[in-house]
Chains A and B, each alone.
Chain A
Amino acid sequence: MKGAPPTATPGRWSRHFVALAFLGPALVLLGVWIVYPAIRTAIYSFYNADSTKFVGFDNYRAIFSTSTITTAIKNNAIWVGVVPALVTAIGLVFAVLTERVPWRLAFRTAVFMPMAVSLFAAGVIWRIMDQKEPDRGTLNASIQVVRDEFKPTGHLQDALPSASALTGSPNKGYVVTKTVGPGGTALVPLTGILPEQVPKSAEQAAPPSVGAGQVGGVVWRDFKPGGGTPGKLDSGELGLPNVKLSLKDSSGKSVGSATSDDAGAFTFDDVGSGQYHVAVSASNFTPPFGGVSWLGPKLITPALILAYIWVWAGFAMVVIAAGLAAIPRDTLEAARTDGATEWQVFRRVTVPLLSPVLTVVFITMLINVLKVFDVVLAVAPQSVQDDANVIALAMWRTAFGAATNYGLGSAIAVFLFLLVLPILLLNIRRFRREA
């Protein structure tokens, strides 16, 4: 007041009034819809389910003794541990890789597009992607393509030994118990094979002619409608082509391999003297790919995280790309001129210069992940929602689910708030430093 011109006082008051008029609507909304409810929630958290009785810290104790909520906390810990780092890393890699590619705009648009889609619509999308049957779920269909390349389904997937002549299991393959020496033949009878599983080219099963220094044998479908003796080669029984076999010495070491022909016959050449076992390889019995149960209780959180990364990678990429564009070209070129490799430039120059941007992306993702809700509700089927639970969802289900409990729901909300509180303090500090 001292030294101020006399006219300043009314002017100042009217100026304050103008400021209040500009701020008023915002302050009312923030006060009524955020500040007041937040305080109420904090108070509710010390009361019982219908807010009629003060219960002290009971609700907070209940958070850590209710199994669905502790599962939610554990799952949220996984989200926090995995997603911010992974999204930042993916964003960095995408931003750097696309930087000098002429069609980067198309790529960045494709990756960024899911950002506009609701996490909920993303949830429906991933329900379709994550179906278990490999002929319907896209994810499992892709896995099947890769797997068939390395570990194809065996054509004897359902076969069993027909007689006690063989021991073993489909996982390890089968071994003929009777030993055989050079010049001898082994019988490998299998059953449990449907007629349509036998290749069209199969002929009447017949053992090969065996010379000295050779071991022979026949593998066949030991089943004849209306007759036939198990373990014996009857006429009308078909050989099994393309069966992979190996010859093992007494120590179990493989000394030769062979594949059966259309009559089921096979021979091992150059066999030294001694006694051997004929073995049917496990690869013949590989069961077909049944599909990974992405939406089952075990893999649900990884499946949700995958969907979430699909949505948020674009955000990280775009923000980091903007940071990248702001790095002076000269700095990078100078490092290259000094003989640094691309990796060294990336590791020693690009990443350190980008670290403020990387931090921002990381913290933003940290807040998002702590509050994750929609994607869990949309992707996880009802039966696994307990296994997929996260804190925000646990709060909602406790307060608005079947058994309404405002006290516990409020306590979970406060717990969530306490988790984001350090980030809030960080934000304020950053602002005050800038101001």
Chain B
Amino acid sequence: MASIAASAETVVRPPDTVAQRILRILGKAPVHIVLALIGVMWLVPTLGLLVTSIIAPEHFTEFGWWKIFSKPSLSTLENYRGIFHNGPITHSLWVTAQIAIGGTFLPIIIAALAAYAFAWLEFPGRDWLFIVVIALLVVPLQMALIPIFSLYNSLHIFDTVLSLVLFHTAFGLPFAIFLLRNFFVGIPKDVLESARIDGASEARIFLRLILPLGLPAIASLGIFQFLWTWNDLIVALTFGRDTQPITVAIFSQLGEFGSNIEIIAPAAFISLVVPLAVFFAFQRYFVQGLLAGSVK
């Protein structure tokens, strides 16, 4: 995000006097106040979940979560202790991690290979095939749920991590190929040509040149894939029974909202801490990927 925020102000202003500067800040006060209010409004819901997750369940129905700021004694870490000793929940976190990691690396590898072929290899019907990939970009995954459900049943891989990873991989591919191909096309032709003249094989060029040069795009893609697979509900809900990621585990508890808030709130908070950490750690790549994927 830094790259966006740091939009260069090229306009040169004459140096201000102190009085002018104060006047300018005062004149803009309403904008600052409105923005501050909106910013707080945007943070309140997440804060509400965090606070709710540390309220003892017997107090949950008694008062709103914001009361905790006047009565900090009502908070407890008991809910989180309960979650970490809750077998199904910890298991589902482990399942989520497996799905997210598998569902991130597999599509990146496969898409990078395909994107290289689309960008730099010659074969008949290349452009048409790429148009097909772009077309697949908008196919709703609802179109695949029923046949894949039957397919998994007949292959006996229903309700496995592998089956979920493969589904995520396939539906991640169109965007991944699109994004990486557009990035690889931008790599200077000379670099590739000279490598080819030197007799490097395509596999070698891919590993030694394309992957290192494409790292920024691969990083932003990885973040997207990770967030998508970690946050998925519909795919896991359809193809998982005992293989439950955290979203499905919370979903099955949600029917009795209120009576088991001491499980729902901390579990939901844990489920969003990981993507938030990824987001804050790789914010720049995330935004770059977003822009590459939508503006291009």
Q: Which positions in A face B, CB cutoff 8 Å?
A: 15-16, 18-20, 22-23, 25-27, 29-30, 32-38, 40-41, 44, 94, 97-99, 101, 104-122, 124-129, 135-138, 141, 310, 313, 315, 318-319, 321-325, 329, 333, 357, 360-361, 364, 367, 370-371, 373-374, 377-378, 381-382, 392, 395-396, 399-400, 406, 409-410, 412-414, 416-417, 420, 423-424, 427-428, 431-432, 435
Query: A30, B142: Cβ atoms under 8 Å?
Result: no
Complex Cα gap A167–B159 (Å): 69
Q: A118-B275, A138-B65, A392-B234 are in contact. List 6 more A-B contacts (CB 8 A).
A: A23-B118, A106-B39, A128-B49, A371-B140, A374-B234, A400-B238
Complex Cα gap A15–B202 (Å): 9
Query: A108, B144: Cβ atoms under 8 Å?
Result: no
With A30-B133, A99-B7 in contact, do A128 and B48 touch (Cβ < 8 Å)? yes
- With beta carbons under 8 angstroms apart, the residue of A18, A361, A381, A396 that contacts B142 is A396
Query: B287, A318: Cβ atoms under 8 Å?
Result: yes
> Among the listed stretches B76-84, B214-222, B264-272, which one makes contact with chain A, having 4 or more residues with CB under 8 Å of it?
B264-272
Query: A395, B142: Cβ atoms under 8 Å?
Result: yes
Total cross-chain contacts (CB, 8 A): 290
**Chain B interface residue number, banded:** 35 or more
Complex Cα gap A321–B291 (Å): 10
Complex Cα gap A413–B232 (Å): 19
1/0 contact string of B146-164 vs chain A (CB within 8 Å): 1111010000000000000
How many Å from the CB of A298 to the closest CB on chain B?
A: 19
Q: List, sorted by A's number, 27 A–B pairs whose CB atoms are closer than 8 Å.
A: A22-B113, A22-B117, A23-B114, A33-B167, A34-B144, A34-B170, A37-B145, A41-B143, A107-B35, A108-B4, A116-B227, A116-B272, A116-B278, A118-B231, A125-B45, A136-B64, A138-B66, A141-B66, A319-B294, A373-B233, A377-B233, A392-B234, A395-B145, A400-B237, A409-B145, A417-B143, A431-B130
Query: Which chain A residues lie closer than 8 Å to B42 at the CB level?
Result: 110-111, 113-114, 310, 313
Complex Cα gap A370–B102 (Å): 28
How many Å from the CB of A84 to the closest CB on chain B?
A: 13
Residue with the greatest number of chain A CB neighbours at <10 A, chosen from B39, B66, B202: B39
Interfacial residues of chain B within 108-143, with CB under 8 A of chain A in the complex: 110-111, 113-114, 116-118, 121-124, 127, 129-131, 133-140, 142-143
Nearest CB to that of B117 among chain A residues?
A: A22
Query: Which chain B residues lie closer than 8 Å to A406 at the CB level?
Result: 146
Interfacial residues of chain B within 184-240, with CB under 8 A of chain A in the complex: 202, 206, 227, 230-234, 237-238
Complex Cα gap A178–B114 (Å): 91
Query: A427, B134: Cβ atoms under 8 Å?
Result: yes
- With beta carbons under 8 angstroms apart, the residue of B110, B136, B251, B279 that contacts A35 is B136
Complex Cα gap A99–B11 (Å): 14
With A37-B147, A117-B275 in contact, do A30 and B39 touch (Cβ < 8 Å)? no
Complex Cα gap A30–B141 (Å): 12
Query: B146, A116: Cβ atoms under 8 Å?
Result: no
Query: B7, A325: Cβ atoms under 8 Å?
Result: yes
Query: A431, B134: Cβ atoms under 8 Å?
Result: yes
With A34-B170, A40-B147, A44-B147 in contact, do A360 and B295 touch (Cβ < 8 Å)? yes
Query: B234, A396: Cβ atoms under 8 Å?
Result: yes
- With beta carbons under 8 angstroms apart, the residue of B39, B113, B251 that contacts A377 is B251
Nearest CB to that of A323 among chain B residues?
A: B295
Query: Which chain B residues lie closer than 8 Å to A357 at the CB level?
Result: 295
Complex Cα gap A432–B134 (Å): 11
Complex Cα gap A313–B42 (Å): 10
Complex Cα gap A26–B268 (Å): 34
Nearest CB to that of B109 among chain A residues?
A: A25
1/0 contact string of B164-181 vs chain A (CB within 8 Å): 001101110110010000
- With beta carbons under 8 angstroms apart, the residue of B117, B174, B257 that contacts A30 is B174
How many Å from the CB of A55 to the closest CB on chain B?
A: 16
Query: B139, A417: Cβ atoms under 8 Å?
Result: yes
Q: Which 6 A-B pairs have the closest CB atoms?
A: A118-B231, A33-B170, A116-B279, A325-B7, A26-B114, A37-B147
- With beta carbons under 8 angstroms apart, the residue of B35, B146, B177 that contacts A410 is B146
Complex Cα gap A250–B170 (Å): 80
Nearest CB to that of B291 among chain A residues?
A: A322
Complex Cα gap A365–B255 (Å): 29
With A41-B144, A110-B42, A428-B131 in contact, do A129 and B291 touch (Cβ < 8 Å)? no
B22 within 8 A of A: no
